Chain A
């Protein structure tokens, strides 16, 4: 089981630039890759040691994640001696992690340190001298094991997952007790009770996934919307981010009449950025259409950059715009601070926008841009990820496993829906339990029986 799983990992460093390679190895490497890789010829029908161009598509949502090249190396003529598929996709953090999570969700397991090499050795692909190194690595892992397990999911979420495991165990215990002790006085769960219990678990797992989820941002990057009154420097800000004169900038208010969309990365985050027409009370029809459009965009955006002109005071217009975006995640840029004393401005606006992120800014000075990028990364990348240590991979592993467990529970729920017999529920519930246990790095097997005997009075 553990030793035969199909494993996957990112085998190149993750940087902002270049190509990342995800390696998948094991019996199911090809089947798994085909689930998410769309190209003219399915990987299963490719010749060994050939490449094909294709698209990486989330098989659960049908969303396009990335595109790139798939390389097939069939066992035993591969590094590990097993079937290997390598997906070479763009190097962005989000895309690669997303792909990895997707593979885990589909049933792959994240490779442990040195596991590809170990498999290569076990399958007779490496020479003897390498074996010593592998054992050292395993020894280290053995020593670390406990620490690793507790470190990886900390505090609240670990507690929460433990709770979920208990909940699933409880349902299994009910089902198993009535299966193994059919004539004992064991209460059986009614259809509605099963459904209620399962739906509760589903919504709990979904909540955890969402909390840890920058998934929306990861699949599409973020949708970033620039808003503000006319002439505050919105287009200048866009040009600064792009480092080119993309939008027309002029001192005439209302220069930008329609929205402008551009793609770029902010730090490590891919983003679609939208520059809009300045918002003001207007009778000009064309401008009005632009403004209405801006309001629609607010709805769809993940993040708002609200730009104010630091040289002017807070007034009714600014307040109206603020109310449009009040509920959204945002940052407030006090632009043109090169013209005024930014500290004074800052303290003035801090009183107005209580609890908001406010950044003094100038499109004329690059140092502000770096500050802005830091803020974005803080918001969209969990600070607990340590990119150099690679712990973010552990996290992709966990998230993939959580989503895997969700798939199983949903299958169980649909078995209840279609009135399948209890035995068929247990199959998926055991799998879900196992996935959750793997998130925490624990393994429990006797606990079902313990639960049965403590909960029910067995002994017909």
Chain B
């Protein structure tokens, strides 16, 4: 599940690292709202970066369900699989 070489996972971590400027140590358990201090629009904005890189669209209700970085990886994997 947590294969560090998984391309989806790499894209998510890369993008998050860029938008937090590497300020926080990221793991699957990192809480996106509480630990990264991102508001609702900031979260939608960085998901947009991931959407571009993976060429998938993420519905807003799926973004709203995401709490941790691991959740986001799972959501992206799920949507990519369908696309």
Say whether A and B bind each other: no
The residues of B with any CB-CB pair to A shorter than 8 Å are: none
